[in-house]
Chain A
């Protein structure tokens, strides 16, 4: 076949002479497109091409807009426009005409119209709106081809929000008599399911009908949907296992029509689809797995023809066999099959063999041993892709004994690799291995130096961060710590003496920090040598300003003695006039601290790594300053989101106030950025059982970011480790010794004498596969291993370690925060002195709160933000309710009012009762009550006069809220000295941090004129937040669907065992969030805004803070929730 195809022509210029050749008739030489194409091929320069195309586009433009152009001509014009676009020239003028052509043309013209539309327009293009009608019309057409075209375009590019318009019609097509229509309809629904799963939820039973369709093509199409559904919820479809097995049996047995054969293999696509489904169903489920053993065995047996397609099926079979509940007989066959892949001379199969090995090595490490020579060969393969895959495999079998060899190989690869994505991934892996298994200090520092120089500025920022953290926190022995640091200082000094210009910025930052902190350890090293080396960095043109501020920081730590001060003066003079404010600040610090050594010792204490610094993140020491400024007439502070909002209101045109919200797209380009945390990101290829958690439901645990695994924090030296020591002759081997030592290792198979190069390979093999053999302590993927680990952290409780990390990052980056700390002691005083006014006002609400509690109706779950009258926030914009409280208000009235709460609400938590307004007759107060599914506003109308009042009319209105009256009628009456109660249920229309209600009460005495009073009531958005219970899988799908998001780092709460858990439980308690799952360093949380507007939260611990990412379909909701989270944590 391919020979037939390869008969083609070699070069385009020969085209003109083609007329005599047999293919010439089909070139439609007279067509305008033909002329254009030929014209282009004759050109020599890009510039000429540009000119020609512009000319062409002008002529197309002229013709399309002419009213005399027929649809047939239009079709031809569109083809030309498509061609120009393909060459990269925009022809946006033709878009509208493409839609017109799809609308008005006859079937053939329509087809071109639809094609042009699908090539020109993006999913988010506004012109697509115009297409909906055309599609609707064509879906209803009696012409099959028109229906097909409509279904095709629908599955190609239909935007989410237009799906409802056509969904019923597409659904209807599931019952169409023609199978091709049914098949296309199923695929279109599959596409809808991918972009908007909620919209097709109601037709799940129809999918089942499609699965049972008498046409195998329709059935095959429905499997796409089932694969997706089962991936999300395998439990829900276990009952279908037998059906899938039966279908597969029939397919394998050749029961399908010949039409479905591909190179005499029966329906391979269908087979693979089914195998993938079975794989999902049988995972961790013995009884389901048992149903499929037989058919899997048969599939293995039947796939015997030596063709790619059978290998594809075999590969899928093997994957399935290793994923489901194991059966030894099948495993054996599968292992043999993998052997065939690995040993195949075909490079593609070899590649897949390596992949399969990577996949199974977790369950069956001996398999890797069997193929060790092949693996060694692949390690030196000229094709980088093969090499890369081999390293991936080696990464999974690394242990303390082979780490040096494997890391060596990885670094070797990194030096030649040019693909950034691979580099980032691999650098992370090297760093992970180095930290986990480093045999000695020198090796560790050297390896990390290579990682930093190769990884450059593209690598994940966690790598340098955790490296520095590791250095500063130290390990069990002080002496070891000292040695490690000393070695780092030594090697960095010599690096700086060579060619610092070649080092990446990140590495320079690491170097300057280490030198700043630890160069005092090397006593014979003159301070001004280091200072001069650092100063040289400042002078280099390539040094970024971020690096410069790290360097200045290091110099600030170092400058002492006469020489130091003079260097410092010089440098600070240069940079104190820098345009970069950060640099200028650093220069100022350097200048001042270099002159005052006592202050410097206090601010930057040497070797202060151990005592955690306290940081007053609420900046309360500035309260005095703020209150003075306010008193002097300064505008009160508004948090950024509120400013944004006001700005947005001011500019009516800004539809999207927050730059962060990106348009939804599932495109591959932004994958790294927008990927759901429930998808595995950089994990290597296949993932097995033990890491399946991360593969599907779980969080992203694998891959570069996880530099420290859970075992990294293993604290004490355990007796088990000692015993492991015994088994390993010497864990501290240098690479040169490794070969020999490995060779003598008892596990390596003995070989008969072989020629030289072979011998080399065998030595390499034995050093690579050492420790892999059948001991019980085999450790793969670094999971649960009792092997000795060099860099064990001290027995820090996690809480103190996170506190320390916070401290550390502060001492690393900012001197000012250290200074803050000096003032921390004054915190208490400043509170008292700066807020006399507030505190006096505070007493009232506190009192009333106490009374409410005494009344028994105040529940512990009362969200904190509601009672924030007691929080001393002067800076915040929070409308402290207490401030509105009139001083003459008597506490007993609160008691009276809360006793008036309707019976059905009295058991629920409610906010304090706030007076709204009063005149001489009426006194209005209100509170809000949190019901599980609603927020109820209760308004108390107290008639303080002696006479009765009839016809009290209460009207409420709000921009942000939906208000509906719950009482029977809004008109009330109140007898003298009694209370009337109105209830309203509230829901949010438009989220904002505080939502406000305005209202008016009007009433009339039996005799007299009507009166009316206005009032307003403000309540925080957090009262509308309720927990939302979802599973991790559901969370994952929802995550991708939501377009509005915001990210921020929040402080962790560290007074508990596990900082993340502690922080999340505080948030859960205060804001009523639902914690979905916490896995390692990450947690996912869900909540909803009444009624059911979901908002999802993803938190990740990172360098002592919690990186929070909020997402929701509702604009502004993430920002508001972020605000409340921040407050909740601050108040804690």
Chain B
């Protein structure tokens, strides 16, 4: 099971956080701090897997943004890396050439996509088409014309 997913910038600014198990605010802050320092201090081209307490941390950098996923000990590291990659693909498909700014300004959309992709710490839908279809379905549902226009084109 996945425990949490954090997105942060190269400067260590948090861009998105998803906690799959209940945690207090203090724990969250501590973990976020630990993760940013740990991941940002990694040399390029080194291993994408880390240990933190009894969790495995899988991180990957996409341009200026770091994706950092914590999984339980018995999980498979490589597949976790692909979870991150699939999420990036989904974002890319939705925003069209996604960049950090898309996620900053439309972070709620990024959350919605994540919620369609993962649920309760497990993969829910692996098909790109399906995730996008359900996001669009809810997007279209009640959107006013104005909002529809301001939505990214793809």
Contact = CB atoms under 8 A, between A and B. Distances in A.
Contacts of B79: 268-269, 272, 309, 312
Interface in B59-83: 62-65, 70, 73-74, 76-79, 81-82
Contacts of B99: 5, 7-9, 23
Interface in A22-69: 23, 25-28, 33-34, 37
Given A37-B105, A155-B119, A111 B138 contact: yes
Given A79-B108, A107-B138, A262 B119 contact: no
A694 B137 CA distance: 48
Given A5-B92, A88-B29, A385-B46, A107 B141 contact: yes
Interface string B26-51: 01011100000000000101111111
Interface in B96-126: 97-102, 104-108, 111-112, 115, 119-126
Contacts of B153: 25-26
A666 B127 contact: no
B138 A221 contact: no
B62 A124 contact: no
A311 interface: yes
A155 B120 contact: yes
A32 to B, nearest CB: 12
B17 A86 contact: yes
Contacts of A107: 138, 141-142
Contacts of A495: none
A157 to B, nearest CB: 7
Contact of B126 (A112, A190, A267, A385): A267
Nearest to B126: A269
Contact of A308 (B82, B111, B115, B123): B82
A8 B29 CA distance: 28
Given A87-B14, A124-B22, A28 B82 contact: no
Given A9-B64, A26-B95, A180-B134, A312 B78 contact: yes
A659 to B, nearest CB: 17
A1047 B118 CA distance: 38
A668 interface: yes
Contact of B107 (A82, A188, A221): A82
Given A8-B64, A8-B99, A82-B108, A1 B120 contact: no
Dominant SS at the A interface? helix
A354 to B, nearest CB: 10
A308 B81 contact: yes
A514 interface: no
B21 A667 contact: yes
B89 to A, nearest CB: 6
Contacts of B63: 5-8
Interface stretch (A344-352, A896-904, A920-928): A344-352
A26 B25 contact: no
Interface in A240-283: 259-260, 262, 267-269, 272, 276
Contacts of A6: 62-63
Interface string A183-208: 11001101100100000000000000
A837 interface: no
Interface string A382-409: 1101101000000000000000000000
A108 B100 contact: no
Given A26-B105, A260-B127, A385-B47, A348 B24 contact: no
Contacts of A308: 78, 81-82
Nearest to B130: A259
B49 A385 contact: yes
A566 interface: no
B12 to A, nearest CB: 12
Nearest to A680: B73
B47 A669 contact: no
Interface in A750-777: none
A668 B101 CA distance: 31
Contacts of B54: 668, 671-672, 675, 681-682
Contact of B46 (A262, A316, A383, A670): A383
A698 to B, nearest CB: 15
A4 interface: yes
B146 to A, nearest CB: 10
Contacts of A309: 78-79, 82
A111 B134 CA distance: 13
B47 A347 contact: yes
Contacts of A382: 43, 46
Contacts of A388: 51
B21 A672 contact: no
Nearest to A421: B53
A741 B47 CA distance: 35
A123 interface: yes
A247 B55 CA distance: 30
A334 to B, nearest CB: 16
Contact of A15 (B14, B101, B123): B101
A89 to B, nearest CB: 12
Contact of A348 (B62, B81, B126, B143): B81
A675 B55 CA distance: 13
A253 B125 CA distance: 21
B93 to A, nearest CB: 10
A188 B119 CA distance: 8
Contact of B76 (A18, A82, A315, A351): A315
Interface string A409-435: 000000000010110000000000000
Contact of A156 (B92, B120, B143, B152): B120
A115 B101 contact: no
Nearest to B88: A5
Contacts of B127: 259-260
A951 to B, nearest CB: 59
B22 A667 contact: yes
B52 to A, nearest CB: 7
A385 B51 contact: yes
Nearest to B123: A269
B45 A347 contact: yes
A775 B29 CA distance: 53
Nearest to B17: A86
Contacts of A352: 77-78
Given A33-B105, A112-B108, A311-B78, A224 B122 contact: yes
Nearest to A75: B108
B108 to A, nearest CB: 5
Contacts of A272: 76, 79
A642 B75 CA distance: 46
B126 A262 contact: yes
Interface string A577-590: 00000000000000
A464 to B, nearest CB: 23
29 contacts: A7-B97, A8-B65, A9-B99, A15-B101, A23-B101, A79-B108, A86-B15, A86-B16, A87-B14, A115-B115, A122-B22, A155-B119, A194-B1, A217-B125, A217-B130, A221-B122, A262-B126, A269-B123, A309-B79, A312-B77, A352-B78, A382-B43, A382-B46, A385-B47, A422-B51, A668-B3, A669-B23, A670-B27, A682-B54
Interface of A: 1-2, 4-10, 12, 15, 18, 23, 25-28, 33-34, 37, 79, 82-83, 86-88, 106-109, 111-112, 115, 119, 122-124, 145, 148-149, 152, 155-157, 180, 183-184, 187-188, 190-191, 194, 217, 221, 224, 259-260, 262, 267-269, 272, 276, 308-309, 311-312, 315-316, 347-348, 350-352, 382-383, 385-386, 388, 419, 421-422, 665-672, 675, 681-682, 685
Given A8-B99, A23-B99, A183-B124, 6 more contacts: A8-B65, A108-B143, A119-B111, A259-B127, A382-B43, A667-B27
Interface of B: 1, 3-4, 14-17, 20-25, 27, 29-31, 43, 45-55, 62-65, 70, 73-74, 76-79, 81-82, 85-86, 88-89, 92, 95, 97-102, 104-108, 111-112, 115, 119-127, 129-130, 134, 137-139, 141-143, 150-153
Across chains A and B, which 9 residue pairs bring their CB atoms closest together, nearest first?
A: A8-B99, A312-B78, A123-B22, A155-B120, A26-B152, A8-B63, A191-B120, A669-B27, A312-B79
